[in-house]
Amino acid sequence: MDLFEKIAANRGPLGTHSAYAHGYFAFPKLEGEIKPRMIFRGKEVLTWSLNNYLGLANHPEVRRADAEAAAEFGMALPMGARMMSGNSNLHEQLENELADFVAKPDCMLLNFGYQGVVSIIDAMVGRHDVIVYDAESHACIIDGVRLHAGKRFVYVHNDMAGLEKQLERAQRIIDETGGGILVITEGVFGMSGNQGDLRGVLKLKEKFQFRLFVDDAHGFGTMGATGAGTGEEQGVQDGIDLYFSTFAKSMASIGAFVAGPENVIEYLRYNMRSQIFAKSLPMPLVVGGLKRLELLRTKPELKDNLWTIVRALQSGLREKGFNLGTTSSPVTPVMLAGQIGDAVQITFDLRENYGIFCSIVVYPVVPKDVIMLRLIPTAVHTLDDVEQTIKAFEIVQDKLAKGLYSKTEAPVWLTE
């Protein structure tokens, strides 16, 4: 079959719904300045879908630093990959400050989070090595694992008995190949909001020799006494061998970093293909990263404000009987019982009639007959925002329980 004909016949699990989803459920356009209330299709909506945890996206000091750096350097400097011609003192300064903040000896800047995780995994393991990873790992981890030429084993999410079993399998293999074991998990899982059992994983180092790689995209800046992440929150930061986070969440920017022992970070600098063969992070993003990290360190009230909203939202929803699963982080998943058709109607109702914009997740990301409304609180939301949202969710839950959504025809624009 011609490749284009194949694509026309099979649009993929998401693309199948593109005719009605595009522009509303997928690729929606939120307009205006980044803040809790933005414009969607001409109407103001209260937005709970931006990973702007600490409110830095529109912080005046951040905007000033970004603008001044863009004016001074432009977006091109430095030209070329870091290894060839794209290094600078400011790049190295940001790496040093990040390493110090997360209590690791060394750090390497990365252009993007997703690309970075894939490339770290690719560089760290060879065909004689074994990867063991959590079943609910982010897509970037899954794609990195798929590149691995050796064995890989998955364990049920946060199931330490299951992890131990897979480590036993991995140990038998490396006893023959002479390879090593890389265990991969997340600090905070972005859908469920629960934390990876880092203590449990590290306890198994008493029985097995492996290295632990933690993707802490949602934990960096939000978890721990200083915001240094989930390892700090659980008191095991020292046990994490490779610590990764993106700038796309708490830092509200573009880029990422990986931190760990000096010799390992040096190895990655010279072996990560996604960095060796890609242009260096532009100077305004580096300068902006320094300013964001400064605010992370010096303004604990940002994280305090975030958690004030998190606690109010999560406790308020639970008091009204909503199921938030096992979240122990700012990520707030609200589980409802319903079909995909119900999910379509609920999303439309929330956005058009109650002015609430949040992400909606359905099968296969969650089990069949489950609808997840995913809320991301930020430091710049207010308690009034929380109250408005809980009231809207109560009404929607009541409509769903009465079967009103299944009796409602799809909005006309969805079928056009």
pLDDT given for residue 364 in this prediction: 76
Topology annotation, domain 60-298: Aspartate Aminotransferase; domain 2 (3.40.640)
Angle made by CA atoms 366, 368, 369, in degrees to the nearest 5: 110
Which regions of the chain carry the CATH code 3.40.640.10?
A: 60-298
**Per-chain mean pLDDT for the chain:** 95
Q: Quick one: CA dihedral 107, 110, 114, 118, positive or negative?
A: negative
Percent above pLDDT 70 for the chain: 98
pLDDT digits (tens, 9 = 90+) for 68-118: 999 999 999 999 999 999 999 999 999 999 999 999 999 999 999 999 999
| Residue among 186, 166, 172, 44 nearest 113 (CA) | 186
pLDDT digits (tens, 9 = 90+) for 298-314: 999 999 999 999 999 99
H or E stretch covering 140: helix 139-146
pLDDT given for residue 19 in this prediction: 84
Give the E-state strand segments of 177-296 in sequence order: 181-186, 211-215, 242-246, 256-260
Tell me: pLDDT of 328 over 70: yes
Residue 411 burial (10 A CB sphere; 0-12, 13-18, 19+): middle
pLDDT given for residue 165 in this prediction: 98
Residues listed for the chain: 416
| Cα(369)–Cα(55) distance, integer angstroms | 34
| Sheet arrangement for strand 332-337 | 332-337, 370-375, 359-361
CB 191 within 8 A of CB 361: yes
Tell me: pLDDT of 20 over 70: yes
pLDDT given for residue 365 in this prediction: 77
pLDDT digits (tens, 9 = 90+) for 55-64: 999 999 999 9
pLDDT digits (tens, 9 = 90+) for 186-201: 999 999 999 999 999 9
CATH number of 3-53+300-415: 3.90.1150.10
| Cα(380)–Cα(375) distance, integer angstroms | 14
pLDDT given for residue 113 in this prediction: 94
pLDDT digits (tens, 9 = 90+) for 65-82: 999 999 999 999 999 999
CB 325 within 8 A of CB 6: no
Q: How confident is the model at residue 415 (pLDDT cuts 50, 70, 90)?
A: very low
Percent above pLDDT 90 for the chain: 89
pLDDT given for residue 374 in this prediction: 96
Tell me: pLDDT of 416 over 50: no
Tell me: pLDDT of 413 over 60: no
Which regions of the chain carry the CATH code 3.90.1150.10?
A: 3-53+300-415
Q: What's 295-327 look like in SS3?
A: HHHHCHHHHHHHHHHHHHHHHHHHHCCCECCCC
